[in-house]
Amino acid sequence: MDAHIKKVYVPMTETGFYILLCLRTPNHGYGIVQKVKELTDNEVILGPGTMYGTLGKMEKDGLIEFVREEEKRKIYQITNLGKEVLEQELRRINRLYRNAQEVAQ
């Protein structure tokens, strides 16, 4: 993984994390917002500015790619690089959780 990508995306913002998580299946911005609400019981609500700004940046950096347009909505999906970044973040979160459990005992 490129040092720039690692520096910018690890650790990830909650927005970035949920976008990559949701784009393992092709989806559009509004669909991602709805999925994140569902996954988090409305605790995380992605605003349009943050959402579309992050989508644009991730597309430019090669973490996601434009697939097609449906009813004037851009459909994106995660790339191999995006999967690599997401997997690294999941390992980091798991390590944090394990460490917290060890300390709590």
Residue 64: other Cβ atoms inside 10 A = 23
In the chain, where are the structural domains located? 3-104
**Beta bridge mates, 75:** 68
Tens of pLDDT along the chain (105 residues)?
788 888 888 899 999 999 999 999 999 999 999 999 999 999 999 999 999 999 999 999 999 999 999 999 999 999 999 999 999 999 999 999 999 999 977
CATH of 3-104 given 3.40.50.300, 1.20.1300.10, 1.10.10.10, 2.40.30.170? 1.10.10.10
CA dihedral 67, 42, 89, 49 (to 10 degrees): 50
pTM for the structure as a whole: 0.91
